[in-house]
A and B are shown apart, each in its own frame.
Chain A
């Protein structure tokens, strides 16, 4: 091991390609999609699906297949970079438009849950579809109206019908990102799925929590609402009601027996360790977009940032921009470290949550400052700065709020359990 920061060639190449996509497919319709909430950019989705298939860039979930290829004997073994690639990819897509990134076809958080908690057979069965002809989506259904950060308080239930060997799901799920595209049949999309978290034993608390794969169009499941939001408006945020919805026995990810342990819950939490730095990466992408735009607009108005001067000699704007740069660069490095650990199978709960805390903080600060620095132009819908400010805020909320992640970080550094630090 060593300390090194050279971007691996495959990642550099991929980012170069994705920047073209961001500039040509995302930015030109960013504003229009923001103003017309819930409109679906089929062109972008189709393009991304085709592009990812043909380039082998893969879906937006780390690809196990690729890792298998690398295990071929005879070939020199490269260090694994699947999560590092993914984070770099998401950062660039979010730089283009974070709302549109959220509706990039592929497995998303749904597939990530299958990856984290599914058996090899389940992974094969549920994940294969993302390489199909049509763009396909999957979504994660965790949050309920009364249970957000406190995921152990979910009330959705799964009861086994022993006669048919099916699970019967009941409950209400909200804030399901890409929930509509993953569940409601659409001619232009392949059949996707939802991963629904429910309890198989309401008396068992976290120990009873399990994830179930619910296929597109399953009877008894309905999308009841699409939320109207502050930002990321192109991304569909769905409310989903499950009423006596039946899924086959092997739709359950993991073990069907309730033990005293909290394996099911830990499955969900392990998913978070993997996905939090990825969400953090998207925050960094938005922050970078805003900072680059501010620097560009400032330079058009005759201001260049004089790096290297003592602080006492800098203008207030230069100080702000330099601080934004420090925030941005350091947040990105924290993401990289967290995903590098994931790639190398090092436990990364601490680094993962740290990167999320940092990203949620800095993307808010950077985009706020960006709007402030550009004055009326920052506030104007003629430019994207105000949109990025609105888009930014969600980074500190979804996939664990900044506060939940602070709890995780604090427990880690204090060596405290959840009971010791509530």
Chain B
């Protein structure tokens, strides 16, 4: 069947996340960006919503089952509030979810409950590399077999919370295939930089991580297929972009209904109204594409990999278009940092490079 309505459980989660996004994230987001830090309480409260916990089976300490659709719905809602805050809240998933998807039974037992049962646990993952043609399927970071260990070498960037992480998954190329490796903190050869600075996401601590012959035991490789992990990251990325875009659309719409020019509200001018109509249409198009990708992942369909790629690619363009127009609709105010749309535009441009910052 075709069907386009979240089920009851999903709707409950959506409502809960929406309340958090509206009541907590949105009011804090601007200040967090300007002061370059996120209140701990804010992140903890988001973690307690249980978005990740709900996608982990009971056997590993969670209370649900993994659903990319549910994850995408939650990510859409959360990012409506604030992107940096959302990324912080779901960072532990970067560690737990790949283990669930590609880890061995022992790895799942050993790591997932630890992550799930803690208060906003400090775990993360490192995928992105500092090259213009960074390709998750063709990493420059390498893993080589050395005796009973793997040796990891390379440089990663945009690793959230790397400085405080208890452990992280580091993706590296093993004989040309991307694999994740569980690397505990204080592993020899692992060094974390000062926080990196970006056009946006100032509130989210992101680090460069350098690996010089970092040894990890062979039992630490996530030996499953990387493709579904990457697809799940792309679905997450697209969902977050949709959330940001929705926020920008709604803000611009409400502004246009207030702002008076030439004797009418500017929303009554077709030049503005058509921009809004196109923004809404574009968001809906990519949203459905991403829902289908997520559904394909949940249904175990092979096409999910390409579909998620299309959704993420489309989402990066869509969110740029929508946030750019939101700034345009607010005119001069759009350019002023007192208003949130310029930040959303800076967020928007990042989505072309965010694959690896989130997973559902």
Contacts and interface: CB of A to CB of B under 8 A. Distances in A.
Interface of A: 1-8, 79, 81, 84, 307-313, 322-323, 325-326, 329-331, 333-334, 336-337, 340-341, 351, 354, 357-358, 403, 406-407, 409-411, 413-414, 416, 420-422
B1 A6 contact: yes
A409 B132 CA distance: 39
Contact of A326 (B253, B277, B284, B310): B310
A7 B276 contact: no
A3 B281 contact: no
Given A2-B3, A326-B286, A326-B310, 13 more contacts: A4-B1, A6-B1, A79-B1, A308-B137, A312-B132, A326-B314, A330-B288, A341-B4, A351-B284, A403-B274, A406-B278, A407-B270, A422-B268
A334 B274 CA distance: 18
Chain A CB within 10 A, most for which of B278, B286, B311: B278
B7 A330 contact: no
Nearest to B275: A410
B262 interface: no
Nearest to A333: B288
B274 A416 contact: no
Q: List 8 tightest A-B contacts by C-beta distance, closest first.
A: A1-B5, A330-B285, A333-B288, A410-B273, A409-B277, A326-B314, A410-B277, A330-B289
Given A3-B295, A407-B270, A414-B253, A307 B277 contact: no
Given A312-B133, A329-B289, A354 B268 contact: no
Contact of A8 (B1, B268, B277): B1
Nearest to B296: A5
A4 B281 contact: no
Nearest to B308: A308
A333 B284 CA distance: 9
Interface of B: 1-7, 10, 69, 73, 132-137, 253, 256-257, 267-268, 270, 273-274, 276-278, 280-281, 284-286, 288-289, 291-292, 295-296, 299, 305-307, 309-311, 313-314, 317, 352
B285 A414 contact: no
How would you classify the secondary structure of chain A's contact residues: helix, strand, loop or mixed? helix
B2 A84 contact: yes
Contacts of A421: 267-268, 270, 273
A308 B307 CA distance: 10
Nearest to B134: A310
Contact of A413 (B280, B286, B309): B280
Contacts of A312: 132-133
Contact of A336 (B2, B273, B280): B2
Given A322-B310, A330-B285, A333-B292, A357 B5 contact: no
A340 B285 CA distance: 15
Contact of A2 (B5, B276, B284): B5
Contacts of A341: 4
Contacts of B310: 307, 322, 325-326, 329
Contacts of A357: 277-278, 281
A81 B257 CA distance: 38
B2 A1 contact: no
A406 B277 contact: yes
A5 B311 CA distance: 15
26 contacts: A1-B5, A1-B6, A2-B6, A3-B73, A3-B295, A8-B2, A79-B1, A307-B309, A309-B135, A311-B313, A313-B135, A322-B313, A323-B313, A325-B310, A326-B286, A326-B310, A331-B285, A333-B292, A336-B2, A340-B2, A354-B284, A407-B270, A409-B280, A413-B253, A414-B273, A421-B268
A58 B224 CA distance: 49
Contacts of A6: 1-2, 299
A70 to B, nearest CB: 14
The residue among A354, A358, A407, A411 with the most chain B CB atoms within 10 A of its own CB is: A354
A414 B276 contact: yes
A340 B5 CA distance: 10
Among B4, B273, B309, residue most surrounded by chain A Cβ atoms (within 10 Å) = B4
A330 B286 contact: yes
Contacts of B280: 354, 409, 413
A322 B317 CA distance: 12
Nearest to B137: A308
A334 B284 contact: yes
Contacts of B2: 4-8, 81, 84, 336, 340
Contact of B4 (A3, A358, A411): A3
Contacts of A351: 284
